[in-house]
């Protein structure tokens, strides 16, 4: 590579960092020091507390690194895991059948979210920003938090042109976010990686405004067959880490959400045999060949519709593989709202 090309890359990186800094400046009121809860200032290439006892470096791409030195042991493990598999994880979501099935799960989530502007939102365990891609254009401002720098940096370019969307590195159980500033918080596929769920849900409760909503979509294993299968697969696959992969059980999840103060408004399962075969290309290697099947997109849509039909029978509901849920932080001033689809 010649000197001019190197200069070009250097200039681009500097411009990207400058763009990130501008966005961070506008989002400072949403951020907090995860160690002390103090507000933060931007100083050169770091975010610092007012008396400068805590400083959080920005990565070369401009990501604030809130969990570079202090994170829970679960988070440390997940950081190492997702930093290693980030490229594969993202590649496996690009097959036509995976995209098509994921779209049906997105529709299920969007039905629960409902229409309208979403105000200020956060996506926790955001990876490349899956929820931000889906609803970021309905948010006034949005922040994505994830422990893996590689996952975040894979998504960074998608939001370069979005002045309202900021990504930061942080631990979901020690969020670098201010109290009661978010209208909605999303987690898509992150809860099951966090063993200390009470700390996670308490943090989400803390950052939500009264009346704010917590939306989640996660693997669930209320059906004994899926529980057994997953226990085996999680141990065998190099793409999964069985010590930090624990799909949700309703009997365990709802009480923890309630214990931190949430009202659980929705808890509905989706995905059955179609999900099993057409998603999971990271584990089911044969599934990757489906992309060459003519009409695979249509077949996937039919499989997703079949799964929904099977799961609409009351006795089958617990056999779903993914739960879409919504929990609300009660607003004592405004009073209760009425339950919606799949209410518990």
Binding site for ligand SAM (CB under 6 A): 74-75, 78, 82, 125-128, 130, 146-148, 151, 171-173, 188-190, 193-194
- In the complex, the smallest distance separating the C-beta of residue 81 from ligand SAM, rounded to whole angstroms, is 7
Rounded distance between C-alpha atoms, residue 67 and residue 28, angstroms: 17
- What is the sign of the dihedral through the CA atoms of 303, 305, 306 and 310? positive
- In the complex, the smallest distance separating the C-beta of residue 139 from ligand SAM, rounded to whole angstroms, is 16
Nearer to ligand SAM, 201 or 317 (CB): 201
- In the complex, the smallest distance separating the C-beta of residue 100 from ligand SAM, rounded to whole angstroms, is 16
Nearer to ligand SAM, 172 or 303 (CB): 172
Contact 184, 214 (CB under 8 A): yes
In three state form, how does the secondary structure of 58-75 look?
A: ECCCCCEECCCCCCCHHH
- In the complex, the smallest distance separating the C-beta of residue 146 from ligand SAM, rounded to whole angstroms, is 4
Q: Please state at what angle helix 296-311 crosses helix 96-113, rounded to 10 degrees.
A: 40
Rounded distance between C-alpha atoms, residue 22 and residue 195, angstroms: 35
Nearer to ligand SAM, 151 or 321 (CB): 151
Q: Say how many residues make up the chain.
A: 344
Q: Among all residues, whose Cβ is closest to ligand SAM?
A: 127
How many C-alpha atoms does 324 have within 13 Å on its Cβ side? 18
How far is the first Cα of the chain from the last one, in angstroms, to the nearest whole number? 60
Nearer to ligand SAM, 146 or 183 (CB): 146
Nearer to ligand SAM, 204 or 317 (CB): 204
- In the complex, the smallest distance separating the C-beta of residue 8 from ligand SAM, rounded to whole angstroms, is 30
């Amino acid at each position: 590579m010649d000197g001019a090309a190197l200069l070009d890359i250097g200039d681009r990186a500097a411009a990207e960092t400058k763009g990130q800094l501008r966005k961070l400046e506008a989002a400072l009121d949403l951020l907090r020091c995860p160690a002390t809860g103090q507000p933060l200032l931007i100083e050169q290439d770091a975010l610092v507390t007012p008396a400068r006892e805590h400083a959080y470096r920005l990565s070369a791409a401009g990501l604030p690194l809130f969990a570079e030195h202090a994170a829970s042991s679960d988070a440390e493990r997940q950081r190492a895991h997702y930093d290693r598999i980030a490229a594969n994880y993202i590649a496996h979501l690009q097959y036509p059948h995976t995209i098509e099935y994921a779209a049906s799960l997105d529709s299920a989530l969007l039905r629960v979210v409902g229409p309208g502007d979403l105000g200020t939102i956060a996506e926790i365990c955001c990876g490349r920003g899956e929820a931000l891609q889906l609803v970021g254009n309905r948010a006034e401002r949005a922040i994505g938090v994830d422990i893996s720098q590689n996952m975040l940096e894979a998504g960074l370019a998608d939001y370069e042109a979005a002045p309202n969307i900021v990504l930061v590195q942080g631990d979901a159980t020690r969020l670098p976010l201010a109290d009661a500033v978010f209208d909605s918080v999303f987690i898509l596929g992150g809860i099951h990686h966090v063993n200390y769920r009470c700390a996670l849900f308490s943090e989400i409760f803390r950052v939500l405004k009264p009346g704010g909503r917590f939306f989640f979509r996660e693997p669930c294993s209320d059906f004994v067959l899926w529980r057994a299968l997953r226990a085996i697969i999680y141990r065998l696959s190099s793409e999964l880490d069985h010590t930090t992969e624990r799909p949700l059980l309703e009997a365990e999840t709802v009480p923890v959400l309630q214990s931190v103060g949430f009202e659980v408004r929705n808890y509905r399962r989706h995905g059955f045999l179609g999900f099993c075969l057409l998603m999971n290309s990271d584990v089911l290697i044969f599934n990757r060949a489906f992309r060459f099947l003519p009409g695979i997109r249509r077949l996937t849509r039919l499989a997703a519709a079949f799964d929904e039909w099977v799961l609409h029978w009351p006795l089958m509901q617990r056999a779903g593989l993914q739960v879409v849920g919504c929990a609300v932080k009660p607003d004592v001033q405004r009073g209760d709202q009425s339950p919606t689809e799949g209410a518990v």
